[in-house]
Structure 1
Amino acid sequence: HSLFSAFSKFGPLYSVRAHRNAAVAGPGYYAVIKFYSAGDAGRAQRACNGQKLFQKSPLKVCVCTKEKGFQHQVLALNSNKCQELANHYLGFNGWSSRIITLQNVSGFDGENEELEETSQKRSVKYLCAVEVTLPNHGVHTRGVALGEADTENSKDPLEFVTASRRAQKLAVGRALSIAFQKILLIVLENGKVAVEYNPSQEELTDYLTEEELKGLVQVSELSLQQFDLEEEDDLLSDLNFEDELPSREMLSN
Structure 2
Amino acid sequence: MDVEILEFNVPGGTNTLLVLKDVETQLHKDELYTILYEKFSQFGLLFQVSLHQLDSVAGSGITNYIIYIRYYSGRSCSQARSAVQRQKLGLHKMCGGYVRLGQPRTRDGVVPLLRFRCEELANYYLGFNGWSSKLLYHRQEDSDPLTIKYVTVVLLEFRKQELSCEGAGLIQETIDLEQELLYQRVNVAKRSIGEAFLAAWGKVMFVVLHGSKVHIEINTAKRDAFMYNPLWDQPQIQVKEADYMVDGDGEEEIVDEVGEADTSLFSDEDTDGRCNIQETDGRCLIQERPIEIEIETN
TM-score, length basis structure 2: 0.56
Match of 2:193 in 1: 172
Q: 1:13 to 1:150 in 2, by over 3 A?
A: farther
2: CA distance between counterparts of 1:171 and 1:40?
Answer: 34
Over the aligned positions, Cα root-mean-square deviation in angstroms equals: 3.1
1:97 to 126, 129, 133: 133
Q: Does 1:13 align with 2:46?
A: yes
Between Structure 1 and Structure 2, the one with more strand by share is 2
**Percent identical across equivalent pairs?**
25
Preserved contact between residue 147 and residue 169 of structure 1 (Cα < 8 Å)? no
Q: Does 1:60 align with 2:60?
A: no
Instruction: Tell me the number of residue pairs that the alignment of Structure 1 and Structure 2 aligns.
Output: 192
2:82 to 46, 54, 60: 46
Aligned pairs (5 A) from 1:1-253: 1-2=33-34, 3-21=36-54, 28-49=64-85, 50=87, 51-53=89-91, 54-62=94-102, 64=104, 66=106, 72-105=108-141, 108=143, 110=144, 113=145, 122-149=146-173, 151-153=175-177, 159-189=180-210, 191-201=212-222, 211-212=230-231, 214=233
1: CA distance between counterparts of 2:195 and 2:71?
Answer: 23
1: CA distance between counterparts of 2:49 and 2:136?
Answer: 35
2: CA distance between counterparts of 1:10 and 1:192?
Answer: 16
Preserved contact between residue 126 and residue 171 of structure 1 (Cα < 8 Å)? yes
1:171: how far off?
0.7
Highest CA radius of gyration, 1 or 2?
A: 2
2: CA distance between counterparts of 1:214 and 1:13?
Answer: 41
Preserved contact between residue 149 and residue 164 of structure 1 (Cα < 8 Å)? no
1:92: how far off?
0.5
Instruction: Render the CA deviation track for 1:3-40: whole Å, top value 9, x for unaligned.
Output: 322222221122222223389xxx72111111110001
1:190: how far off?
5.2
Instruction: Give ranges in structure 2 of 5+ residues lacking alignment.
Output: 1-32, 57-62, 235-298
1:58: how far off?
4.2
**Which residue identity lines up with residue 57 of structure 1 in the other structure?**
G
TM-score, length basis structure 1: 0.65
1:147: how far off?
2.5
Q: 1:160 to 1:193 in 2, by over 3 A?
A: same
Between Structure 1 and Structure 2, the one with more helix by share is 1
Preserved contact between residue 148 and residue 170 of structure 1 (Cα < 8 Å)? no
Q: 1:213 to 1:64 in 2, by over 3 A?
A: farther
